[in-house]
Chain A
């Protein structure tokens, strides 16, 4: 199978995020960057479907430094990388989807993989947008993925249950936690990755109609309340949940 995985470089989830002076973007000095954790499921899954004569291509849109995250994917076992290079990654998912889609048109893949969301902007948008631009089927939040011949069978998570669906190839999925255990790059993998092909293509972003007006932190959470200990506390807990929190 020829597999393409779209990868995003995101701030490490442990990074303390600061907002820059414009008030509309994060301040990226001192930020540690990583491969979007959901994309790790995507890479790992693609590798299991590659087969002996297939290939896994990593496609990323981002600044030049994104080559580091692409190398990580190559170290996990992917075969080659393509960086669509821009100065600053777009905040509008439609721009991202348009740029990725135009590169994908030339790749003639069988399977296309995305993380279900980027842990930075949490839009959950790029995968489905790319699929509709390319006019191919895509199912999101996939937790099991099987391919037989030219048909893919997909299990996806829905509110309170599971849904099973079929799609013809070429098709795409977005990956949800539970799909697999993401592979860590091994030391021999890291060494081999240095010699794998990685192409850098500067690209122009199309116009966007999305404007970020303001970024702000969520308000501090109010302190918790201890109503008592052990079984004796249960009546009081129920009273507080019913009368104060009004959740019961």
Chain B
């Protein structure tokens, strides 16, 4: 880096000194083994405790679990350096462990669960996997069919998962299940699943196009008993937990994509300096030189986008827009760069002797895993065209319509829409604070199979809801899904199960 670049870099001296550690660790402990892991279609799990001992698996986690609790830029450094091992598969497995599968345990697990598992996760003694996708549901998370039926203080889990990274090695799964198959989003729950549970089996290790140094498996669950205390969050909150996790997961995807592109580009430049055709190094032909200028420019654009998304994410603001854009652009750039590099290598680009072939097949995953490019475009099109600010991934939601009922008309409609047969044994007082013009405070009480609605604050609520007029109307008229508004921070609810039971008991506003 020259001086100007150093001055504009998001990394301080501590990040850079950590980078030196990462670089050496990768070049001494991982790079020499990566070809073997690629050939074996999986890594040697002894590398996990080695990474753990170096503190590389606990960067964001609290010290009480053996972590370092450092800002996300340290994680960025680690991702960038890990990419230099020369394959994308093993880094993906590591990222799944640290940034996709274990964060829900740390964020939503009970203290007991965290005390039990987090130290082993941070030390690399237990490997984790995130098990959401199923043969019949990938992009459509709410469409999963694996069930968890309550039996005393256990759930009985039945079903199957597929495409699960670390599937054959994992000791723990962060597992998405349906606790209420009659519901879509609100029927999803998340469990910590120990893979030594009787009834669990690894269906098969999947043969893939690339990312060979990472194992990917089909998993089967046959009457597996999971303690209820392994639940993450509350029953029915699984969808939110998964959505919450997606932002970080996608950011990791974007950063890794840029790091991988940079690496194969550097190797390609080296090759173009030494390979001769017609008496000259091929890098002297203008078409090649201009290709390099184009690649360098797009990589730089992608990097700045990933760093910008990181900045917004680190600041704690809603980063859905920036992260979705970065995931889309960086991952598409990553696959494009690998393709261009193969072209510069010519025939050797197609051969295993040179790194371009591996880069091409490894990067093909980028626009599919962790939310496809189509899904990113879906999210973004709703933001840029429909003017929705914070929507999270959801297929096929309709365009909003701006003329709608007033807030007081909606509250007036509630008792008529209440279906006591759908309310189960719900007995609760709800307080709604709706801000903005036309808003106000309402108290909704469900008692002995009846609903009473009054304007103002009355009985002590067991569930408080805060939102604004636009959001409330949009949710009630079906323009925004409640889970999206909730995830976007536009509605806050302190008793989610009660709120869900209430929503489930209301017929649609006509």
Contact = CB atoms under 8 A, between A and B. Distances in A.
Interface of A: 34, 68, 71-72, 75, 184-191, 194
Contact of A187 (B13, B21, B24): B21
B21 A186 contact: yes
A185 B54 CA distance: 7
Contact of B17 (A75, A186, A188): A75
Contact of B54 (A68, A71, A187): A187
A190 B18 contact: yes
B17 A72 contact: yes
Q: Is the interface of A mostly helix, strand, loop or mixed?
A: helix
A191 B68 CA distance: 8
B401 interface: no
A213 B53 CA distance: 48
A209 B18 CA distance: 41
Contacts of B59: 187
Contacts of B21: 75, 184-187, 190
A186 B55 contact: yes
A184 B17 contact: no
A194 B15 CA distance: 13
A186 B70 contact: no
Given A71-B17, A190-B18, A194-B14, A184 B68 contact: no
Contact of B24 (A71, A184, A188, A190): A184
B17 A189 contact: no
A140 to B, nearest CB: 26
B14 A187 contact: no
Most central of B21, B59, B74 by chain A CB within 10 Å: B21
B392 interface: no
Contact of B70 (A34, A68, A71, A191): A191
Nearest to A187: B55
Contact of A184 (B13, B14, B25, B58): B25
Interface of B: 13-14, 17-18, 20-21, 24-25, 28, 53-56, 58-59, 63, 68, 70, 74
A187 B74 contact: yes
Nearest 8 pairs of A and B residues by beta carbon: A187-B55, A186-B55, A186-B54, A188-B55, A187-B68, A185-B21, A188-B68, A184-B24
A186 B53 contact: yes
29 contacts: A34-B20, A68-B13, A72-B17, A75-B17, A75-B21, A184-B21, A184-B25, A184-B28, A184-B54, A185-B17, A185-B21, A186-B21, A186-B53, A186-B54, A186-B55, A187-B18, A187-B21, A187-B55, A187-B56, A187-B58, A187-B68, A187-B70, A188-B55, A189-B55, A190-B17, A190-B18, A190-B21, A191-B68, A191-B70
Contacts of A188: 55, 63, 68
Nearest to A72: B17
A34 B24 CA distance: 12
Nearest to B78: A187
A187 B24 CA distance: 13
B46 to A, nearest CB: 16
Contacts of A187: 18, 21, 54-56, 58-59, 68, 70, 74
Contacts of B53: 186
Most central of A34, A68, A75, A184 by chain B CB within 10 Å: A184
Contacts of B74: 187
B251 to A, nearest CB: 20
A215 B28 CA distance: 33
Nearest to B24: A184
Nearest to A35: B20
Given A187-B74, A190-B21, 7 more contacts: A68-B13, A184-B25, A186-B55, A187-B18, A187-B59, A187-B68, A194-B14
Contacts of B56: 187
A72 to B, nearest CB: 7
Contacts of A75: 17, 21
A191 B14 CA distance: 8
Contacts of A34: 20
B92 to A, nearest CB: 21
A186 to B, nearest CB: 4
A75 B20 CA distance: 12
A216 B55 CA distance: 43
A239 B312 CA distance: 70
A133 to B, nearest CB: 33
A238 B193 CA distance: 67
Contacts of A190: 14, 17-18, 21
